Amino acid sequence: MLTTLENDFDNGFLNALRAPARAATIAAADDCYGWMIGTWEMDVLHYRVGLGGVRRRGEIHCGWVLEGRAVQDVWIMPPGDHPDDPAAAHSMYGSTLRIWDPALQAWRVTFVNPATGQRNDLIGRRIGRDLVQIGTRADGTPIRWNFTEITQDSFRWTGVALAQDGVTWTLQAEFQARRSTPVSAR
């Protein structure tokens, strides 16, 4: 049970972190991630290794933070309570922070999963209708993460990594997400 002091801190911290909307300094044309704001359910189609027909699910929670200058999310798999073994090969409890960099005219993207020690740094841009994020893992492995098939209520996300041969891109993860409360139902 939270003490009054802990409750005050939690409320103060969360209120200081969250923002109601995009900052005015980010043009609508540069807003690549605002469409993600909300809660999503996801079907896990592939995660590091083939799932052998086993159905896996997850959830994503996303919002504007830091006075609307960034978009932050939490990706959780399996959904609900944190798994007993958060370092298990098919579990995830991580957060992505996406910050608009006006000098670069792109988004700086950092994902961390403290339970597994995973950290990735990428640069995100819109290419056509897709969002393409290119970067590296902490160990220097080149990666590419893509949001495709984006609608207001669904998207497909894939993550690939460059194999040691320096030529072959290997699928690491594939998720199909749908908004928990569709925009059309609001």
Domains of the chain, earliest start first: 4-185 (2.40.128.20)
Residue pointed to by tokens 């809660």: 39
Question: Quick check: pTM over 0.95?
Answer: no
Strand-pairing partners, residue 15, are none
Question: Under 8 Å CB-to-CB from 110, ≥6 apart: which residues?
Answer: 96, 97, 119, 120, 121, 122
Digits of tens for pLDDT over the chain (186 positions)? Answer: 555 655 666 678 888 899 999 999 999 999 999 999 999 999 988 776 665 556 789 999 999 999 999 999 999 988 876 555 544 656 788 999 999 999 999 999 999 988 788 899 999 999 999 999 999 999 999 999 999 999 999 999 999 999 999 999 999 889 999 999 766 554
By C-alpha distance, which of 38, 57, 19 is closest to 185? 38
